[in-house]
Amino acid sequence: MQTNPTLPVTKTLAEFVANLTWDKLPSAVREEGRLAIADTIGGAIAAVNEPATHAVLAISEDDQGTTSAVWGSTRRATPRSAALINGTMAHAHDIDDTNPSMRGHPSCPVVPAIFALAAKFGATGQDLVTAYVAGVEIATKLGRAVNMTHYNKGWHTTLTLGTLGAAAACARLLKLDAEQTAVALAIAGSRAGGLVANFGTMTKPIHSGFAAESGVTAALLARAGASANPDALEAKNGFFDLFVGLDKVQPALALEALNERFDLVDPGNIYKQYPTCSLTHCAIDMLLDGQADGTIKPDQIESIECAVGYRCESTLPYHNARTGLEGKFSMEYCLAAALVYGQVTFAEFQDDKVTAPAIADMHKKIHLYTHPDLTTPESVPYDFTDIVIKHRDGSTFHGREQKAKGDPAKRWSVEQFKGKFVQCAGPVLGAEQAGKLWDDLYRLDTLPASELKALI
């Protein structure tokens, strides 16, 4: 097969994954891995009763394997079904982490995929954390190579890159060698997809389930001896060519500082405080903080000017949201909800909350526009949200934020991570059990085998 004669990306990444061990992980990477795994599972448990979860459960009804846990329930399923179900739940509330290198959600496909295989293949806590790190590194390193062109084409990177990340993580968990891992990546490339046009519907979180399931499938097929093009990422008509274009991809960025800089900590995952698209979070932070300190008075608001980056044009397309799912991808609704309800929680994304008369009234005062400094792909690293609010009493609020709470620049404490986990999982498990589960996940690498078994 003809290949792009630049760099052996597939082979090099496969070797990285196959050779990654717990001992090679810096302490900060181990810590971040445990936090991210726990954060992902907490957000997934919160979605156990969401419609998207019911949909994927419905097609798994006759698939009653006894191997893998379905989070937040007593149900068990085969690895592939568990990956689909838990992967969907992990993204259903859109409260899972993102990573700037990937321009997507790295953990929601990877964590469900490796946990789906853990019981059947006797994984330890250290195996799980190492596999998680391997998967996130592949998704983020490839993100560096393909974005922003890939993102701007309308591909949902959580599914495209997430499938490759999940396959890499599963390959590491299964202890595949470098050649088998390259096959797993190649198979995963054939399973990748995901349309941004499906944002604001149940299919968006199901993308994460697809990625997790495909990652499991790709690794198991590689283990079973399936063949694939060992250069599938860089080959002509391969992943780079079809999803980006060989003239636009930057393959060297996928290999830059491999084994030296872990994207999991540099630039680092961004953890989410609100169950909505991360592009709304700076605005929500400013509005809630402004109400708390009295500089924003919702009952006095005359007008709201909100300037954003150009990515919002495609990622937040719902300028007049009619459902809770659409509201997650509507800057106007998120602004109005923060001001009308004084909070942005799971409750604010019920359909009746989105269509409430008070929201419609506030909506009329909002003018959303793309800031003239934020109109090109080169501006993305400098994205900000700028808000000017004029009040009827003559006072004005002006705020500009580049980093939301939960960004590495505004790091949460371990107790804040645990607090979010209990808020998410507590209504399903009870606060005490949720707190214990957090404690177990936070010490995942040292958890005794008997206790780990209860989690997987």
Q: How confident is the model at residue 62 (pLDDT cuts 50, 70, 90)?
A: low
SS3 186: helix
The arithmetic mean of pLDDT across residues 30-56, rounded, is 98
User: What is the average per-residue pLDDT within 251-257?
Assistant: 97
- Residue 54 is encoded by which pair of tokens? 């019911």
pLDDT of amino acid 449: 87
- Mean per-residue pLDDT, 85-110: 98
pLDDT digits (tens, 9 = 90+) for 181-194: 999 999 999 999 99
Q: What is the mean pLDDT of the chain?
A: 96
Tokens of 259: 């084994």
Task: Tell me which H or E stretch contains 181.
Answer: helix 178-191
243 with 191: CB under 8 angstroms?
no
Q: What's the pLDDT at 436?
A: 97
pLDDT tens digits for range 364-386: 999 999 999 999 999 999 999 99
Residues paired with 390 in a beta bridge? 303, 396
Reply yes or no on whether the pLDDT at 201 is more than 70: yes
Domains of the chain with bracketed CATH = 9-268 (1.10.4100.10), 278-401 (3.30.1330.120)
The whole-angstrom distance between residue 195's C-alpha and the CA centroid of its chain comes to 15
Poorest-pLDDT segment among 64-68, 101-105, 143-147 = 64-68
Question: How high is the pLDDT of residue 204?
Answer: 98
Q: How far is CA 175 from the centre of its chain?
A: 25
| pLDDT tier, 64 (very low <50, low <70, confident <90, very high otherwise) | low
* Residue 328 near residue 275 (C-beta atoms within 8 A): yes
Residue 453 pLDDT class (50, 70, 90 cuts): confident
Q: How confident is the model at residue 51 (pLDDT cuts 50, 70, 90)?
A: very high
Kindly tell me if the per-residue pLDDT of 401 is higher than 80: yes
In three-state secondary structure terms, 374 is: coil
Question: What pLDDT digit, counting tens, does each position of 298-323 carry?
Answer: 999 999 999 999 999 999 999 999 99
Q: Which residues contact residue 360 at a Cβ distance below 8 angstroms, ignoring those fewer than 6 apart?
A: none
Radius of gyration (C-alpha) of the chain in whole angstroms: 21
Sign of the C-alpha dihedral computed for residues 306, 309, 310 and 315 taken in this order: negative
Q: Which residue has the higher pLDDT, 6 or 97?
A: 97
The pLDDT score that the predictor gives to residue 288 is: 98
Quote the pLDDT of residue 60: 87
The average pLDDT across 77-91 equals 96
Tens-place pLDDT, residues 3-19: 444 699 999 999 999 99
pLDDT at position 243:
98
Q: Please give the Cα distance from 444 to 128 (Å, whole number).
A: 8
Over residues 110-117, the mean pLDDT reads 98
Q: How many CB atoms lie within 10 A of CB 62?
A: 6
Give yes or no for residue 61 having a pLDDT over 70: no
Query: Mean of the pLDDT values across residues 206-219?
Result: 98
Q: Is residue 407 over pLDDT 70?
A: yes
pLDDT above 50: residue 350: yes
pLDDT at 450: 87
> Exposed/middle/buried for 392, CB within 10 Å: 0-12, 13-18, 19+?
exposed
Q: pTM for the full model?
A: 0.96
pLDDT of 455: 84
- Structure token pair of residue 158: 């959580």
